[in-house]
Chains A and B, each alone.
Chain A
Amino acid sequence: QVQLVQSGAEVKKPGASVKVSCKASGYTFSSYGITWVRQAPGQGLEWMGWISNNNGNTGYSQKFQGRVTMTTDTSTTTAYMELRSLRSDDTAVYYCVRDRYTGVSTPDYWGQGTLVTVSS
Chain B
Amino acid sequence: DVVMTQSPLSLSVTLGQPASISCRSSQSLVYSDGGTYLNWFQQRPGQSPRRLIYGVSKRDSGVPDRFSGSGSGTDFTLKIISVEAEDVGIYYCMQGTHWPRTFGPGTKVDIK
Q: In chain B, what residue has the closest Cβ to A61?
A: B100
Contact between B100 and A47 (Cβ–Cβ < 8 Å)? yes
Q: In chain B, what residue has the closest Cβ to A62?
A: B100
Number of A-B contacts (CB under 8 A): 64
Tell me whether A82 is interfacial, beta carbon within 8 Å. Answer: no
Q: Give residues of chain B (30-67) contacting chain A, Cβ–Cβ below 8 Å.
A: 31, 33, 35, 37, 39, 41, 43, 48-51, 54-55, 60
A115 to chain B, nearest CB (A): 12
Q: Give residues of chain B (77-104) contacting chain A, Cβ–Cβ below 8 Å.
A: 90, 92, 94, 96-97, 99-104
The interface size bin for chain A is 20 to 34
Q: In chain B, what residue has the closest Cβ to A105?
A: B96
Contact between B103 and A47 (Cβ–Cβ < 8 Å)? yes
Contact between B37 and A110 (Cβ–Cβ < 8 Å)? no
Tell me whether A45 is interfacial, beta carbon within 8 Å. Answer: yes
Contact between B92 and A108 (Cβ–Cβ < 8 Å)? no
B75 to chain A, nearest CB (A): 19
Contact between B103 and A104 (Cβ–Cβ < 8 Å)? no
| A103-B31, A106-B37, A108-B54 known, 20 other contacts, Cβ within 8 Å | A37-B49, A44-B90, A44-B104, A44-B105, A44-B106, A45-B41, A45-B49, A45-B106, A47-B100, A47-B102, A47-B103, A50-B101, A60-B100, A62-B100, A104-B35, A104-B97, A107-B96, A110-B48, A110-B51, A111-B48
Binding site for A on B (CB under 8 A): 31, 33, 35, 37, 39, 41, 43, 48-51, 54-55, 60, 90, 92, 94, 96-97, 99-106
